[in-house]
Amino acid sequence: MREDGAEPGSFSDLFEAGTGVNAPADAFGQSPAHLAAWGGEAFFLLWQLQTGADLNQQDCLGEAPIHKAAKAGSLECLALLVAGDAKIDLRNNRGQTAADLALACGFLECAKFLKTIQHTQTMKLRGQSGSSLNGNHGVLSEDLAAQEQEWEASRSTSRKRRRSDGV
């Protein structure tokens, strides 16, 4: 703990003079927006967005703030990033999107939100009307259901591997 009572590496460190909005705040290349998204700090993230933070700036893992918010399960931060036009289909160094990470971490509501937004954006890019979006809703639901089943299967498999009694 520092003399001022704050923990080292806390958000108060980011307020020190000379910290730029897109300057990497740590050795991993994470900006203040990355840290806010990872911490689920929606108000701090909003402030960062209003001061010109780069929503798509990637850290050493290739992750942008949207990846961090997805891994943290922060639907509020994800909504802010989507509203700020963050790239939903941006992939990290392992080829994962934010929706992939949310699903892998067990945040199904976040994964569904991101998949729905991504699907909507895809339909807009194709120039299709809202009525055809409703026609394709079943495809989106089936895709998400398949991903949820895959996640549940991998989760139960990893649980089985952790047991020491061989069961």
Domains of the chain and any CATH numbers: 11-162 (1.25.40.20)
**Cβ atoms 52, 21 nearer than 8 A:** yes
157 pLDDT exceeds 50? no
36 pLDDT exceeds 70? yes
**The pLDDT value given to residue 154:** 53
**The pLDDT value given to residue 143:** 62
74 pLDDT exceeds 60? yes
pLDDT band, residue 140 (cuts 50/70/90): low
**Cβ atoms 31, 25 nearer than 8 A:** yes
**The pLDDT value given to residue 4:** 44
pLDDT band, residue 161 (cuts 50/70/90): very low
In this structure, the dihedral spanned by the alpha carbons of residues 45, 88, 157 and 139, taken in order and rounded to 10 degrees, is 140
d(CA 46, CA 41): 9
Find all residues with CB under 8 Å of 162, minimum gap 6, and list them: none
Task: Give the mean model confidence (pLDDT) for residues 16-25.
Answer: 54
**The pLDDT value given to residue 121:** 84
**The pLDDT value given to residue 126:** 83
| Higher-pLDDT residue of 62, 21 | 62
- State the chain's maximal CA–CA distance in angstroms: 60
pLDDT digits 0-9 by tens, 76-112: 999 999 999 899 999 999 999 999 999 999 999 999 9
pLDDT band, residue 6 (cuts 50/70/90): very low
**The pLDDT value given to residue 1:** 40
Task: Give the mean model confidence (pLDDT) for residues 127-140.
Answer: 52
**Cβ atoms 108, 148 nearer than 8 A:** yes
